[in-house]
Chain A
Amino acid sequence: MGVTLPQSDPQGRPEHYLEGFRNRHGLEESGVEGNVVTLVVNPNIVPAVLATARECLQIMHLSYITVVDRVGSFELTYELLDLRGVSVRVKTAIEGEEPVIDTVTGIYPTANWHEREAYDMFGVAFKGHPDMRRVYMWQDHFDHHPLLKSFEISTKRTFEGLR
């Protein structure tokens, strides 16, 4: 049985998706510009939001998970594509130095390695992840998370003049 994809012209679909999310979850912010639906959501209901995206709205593809280290807090962006022109961005912000969030591997199995990479680079712990290991860095004696702003590299160029 093949995968059924929505028809090709993304006319009313972004609004339809926004409706689907609005009446199922309490969203902090939400907006539609062009073919992109942007949602800002509380971290603990992220798996629920993605579950509705996957089951109810048939958005099949999780493109990537971006983690941004806003020094005090971490900003996660889940980019979902429905493979026919519309993309949905679910954004959350996790406070504190030790970010912990539920995993979405159960809903989108492709998130497995994205979350492992996020853990390896930022230390974001994903509760319930099948094998939470480092992806890139060597396991034994490297206990830093390199992409944190606190991990200084010695040849940091300072752009005072241009800041």
Chain B
Amino acid sequence: MSLSYPLQFVNLLAALLLLISFAMLSQRRVVGLITLFAWQGAALAASTAIIAWSTGQHHLYYSAALTLILKVIAMPWFFYRIVRQLDVNREVESMLNIPTTMLIGIVLVIFSFNLALPISQMAGTVMRSTLGIAMACVLLAFLMMITRRKAITQVIGFLAMENGLFFAATSATYGMPLVVELGVALDVLVGVFVLGIFFFQIRESFESLDLKHMEKLREK
């Protein structure tokens, strides 16, 4: 079957998203991570906008704008500030070494494609394969959260996960109802805000954002 060019472009963006996810998985430096995150947001916003334009789902424009503001401008800027203030640029080596993580990541991608396949078959929307990619993004972000050791990288992973979800929402279902979108956005915003508070609190009581200081609460 042949897709209209905009939608092919969306597919391209989807692939880009996946690529960025992998890049984040392999990125050691926090600043680089933030940049990648911003790019991911940008790709997301773009794809949303294109879908909105090509399918005439106008409310998607709003979410595209939201994405742009929040995930491409606000948050990266915010994170840059934090990194500069707390200078936690250098990420210590992750729990697993990068190649292994990559391998696991690939396995995950295959897994999620298999999972999404039967669903995409029945997808009413023109966008079929994107669901699999979205799921892959989510799982990859999850993996990143597991492997990283700094609070801030974990948060970025968390937000990358939200990106994946968002992409799933827009591409597979042309976006959730507007209220929900707004609610989600609001939550994300508040969440990041809370996180900001957290970083400083953690910082002032542990003198670093390294998670290894936060393993006191356990079963003796």
Tell whether A and B belong to one assembly.
Answer: no
